[in-house]
Amino acid sequence: MPVGRWSTVKEAAREIGVTRQRVHQLIRKGLLGEARMFSTPRGPVWMIRRPIERRLRPSGYHRPECKCGKHPGERRTQ
């Protein structure tokens, strides 16, 4: 059950359909909206602000028009 406008890692994982480990990765990369560490009697807990906004970033380090041949489905032309 979300506390106010915040969700735990487990609740966020269930809501966006990924594992809790993936939620931690997204928090670390800054791709999950606002996330804060809260102190609780049982120790520190990550909380994610609701509604959970999962940001996307471009994959890889290449520009879309890159012709390096390293992308899936692409063939190198020489």
Please determine, for residue 70, whether its predicted confidence score (pLDDT) is greater than 90: no
Residue 9 — pLDDT band, cuts 50, 70, 90? very high
Q: Which residue range is the domain that position 58 belongs to?
A: 1-78
Q: Is the pTM of this model over 0.75?
A: no
pLDDT for res 44: 94
Question: How many domains, the chain?
Answer: 1
Q: What is the separation of C-alpha 10 from the centre of its chain, rounded to a whole number of angstroms? A: 13
Please write the tens of the pLDDT for every residue from 40-59.
999 999 999 988 887 766 55
Which of 7, 63, 53 is closest to 31 using CA atoms?
53
Q: Which H or E run includes 15? A: helix 9-16
